[in-house]
């Protein structure tokens, strides 16, 4: 998967290169391109915003720099190898060494285009709320592009213009207002990329996660068994795997009923044992 992020604060996204995602990039499981929107401005003052038509508080991000940045990303995706996997466009574009360019053969280019349009994710308070289902869906995409707005957002015509070139997805990460799209993009990139095989060490840990099957996760413990007068539940020390599985399921049901009854309402496959745990 290739991910491109456009922002006026590209350094915000450098955190993505740490830890697991950074390792996945080094292993070639992921490509991450972070692009400074100001590199695509066309005036001496590198202007990215202006006052809103119709009046109102704040500023709106101008359309042209966004179109130039997104076109550059599309062109690069159609001719891979022209962007080093860990590139940052805008400054001196790091032309890939000849051998890499040679490696980016027509077949790869076809794979990118044949796989359909890149997904353009535009974080916004006014989008559908991102959840684990959305993460699982996006984990199958070949190319994700994140447009990180600031100020009061991006001129609507960018989304209108982008429709034929991208699968456009305005996306909220929750019902609260941030100052821009960078943090929202990092949340979504982390939630999506950890689902890609090989990115996190132990795939089994993905199976029993909160929201994976609609229930929140069970409480977890590690050594010592007795800690400041707090004991690990006996069943977890018993080695009785059936009893442990039942205990964990019961805790998940209880926790979900207490913390997120809305999730429980969505569940339709509770068995008799589950219902007993909830009574
Ligand atoms: N889940 C979530 C995502 C975001 C998010 C994502 C991207 C951007 C880009 C800018 N902001 C700040 C912002 C956006 C909207 C308003 C409201 N304003 C009212 C008048 C008409 C224009 C819009 C205020 C400030 C963003 C905020 N917040 N929360």
ipTM over 0.85: yes
Most confident of 86-95, 150-159, 256-265: 150-159
Question: Where is pLDDT greater, at 88 or 192?
Answer: 192
| pLDDT of 9 strictly over 80 | yes
| Average pLDDT value for residue range 269-278 | 83
- Name the nearest CA neighbour of 171 among 132, 139, 224, 134: 134
Q: CB under 6 Å to ligand 1: residues? A: 56, 123-125, 149-150, 152-153, 172-174, 176-181, 184
Per-residue pLDDT tens over the stretch 237-260: 999 999 999 999 999 999 999 999
Per-residue pLDDT tens over the stretch 194-230: 999 999 877 777 766 777 788 999 999 999 999 999 9
Give strand ranges (E) for the chain.
2-7, 31-36, 49-50, 60-61, 119-123, 143-147, 167-171, 226-227, 230-231
What is the CA(74)–ligand 1 centre distance, in A? Answer: 26
Residue with tokens 């007993």: 276
Q: Ligand 1 pocket test: pick from 57, 59, 120, 124 the residue with the most ligand atoms within 8 Å of its Cβ.
A: 124
Question: Which tokens sit at 101?
Answer: 């360019």
């Amino acid at each position: 998967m290739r991910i491109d992020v456009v922002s006026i604060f590209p350094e915000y996204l450098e955190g993505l290169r740490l830890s697991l995602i950074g390792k996945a990039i080094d292993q070639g499981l992921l490509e991450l391109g972070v692009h400074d929107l100001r590199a695509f401005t066309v005036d001496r003052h590198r202007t990215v915003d202006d006052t809103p038509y119709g009046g109102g508080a704040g500023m709106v991000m101008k359309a042209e720099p966004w179109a130039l940045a997104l076109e550059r990303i599309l062109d690069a995706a159609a001719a891979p190898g022209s962007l080093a996997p860990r590139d940052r466009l805008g400054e001196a574009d790091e032309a890939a060494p000849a051998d890499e360019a040679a490696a980016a053969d027509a077949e790869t280019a076809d794979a990118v285009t044949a796989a359909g349009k890149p997904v353009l994710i535009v974080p916004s308070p006014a989008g559908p709320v991102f959840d684990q289902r959305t993460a699982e869906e996006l984990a199958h995409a070949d190319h994700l592009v994140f447009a990180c707005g600031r100020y009061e957002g991006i001129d609507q015509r960018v989304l209108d213009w982008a429709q034929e070139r991208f699968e456009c997805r305005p996306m909220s990460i929750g019902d609260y207002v941030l100052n821009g799209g960078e943090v929202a993009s990092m949340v979504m990139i982390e939630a999506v990329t950890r689902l890609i095989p090989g990115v996190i060490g132990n795939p089994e840990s993905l199976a029993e996660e909160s929201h994976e099957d609609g229930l929140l996760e069970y409480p977890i413990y590690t050594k010592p068994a007795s800690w400041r007068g707090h004991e690990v539940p006996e069943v977890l020390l018993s080695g009785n795997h059936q009893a442990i599985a039942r205990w964990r399921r019961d805790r998940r049901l209880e926790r979900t009923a207490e913390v997120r009854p809305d999730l429980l309402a969505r569940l339709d496959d509770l068995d008799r044992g589950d219902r007993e745990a909830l009574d």
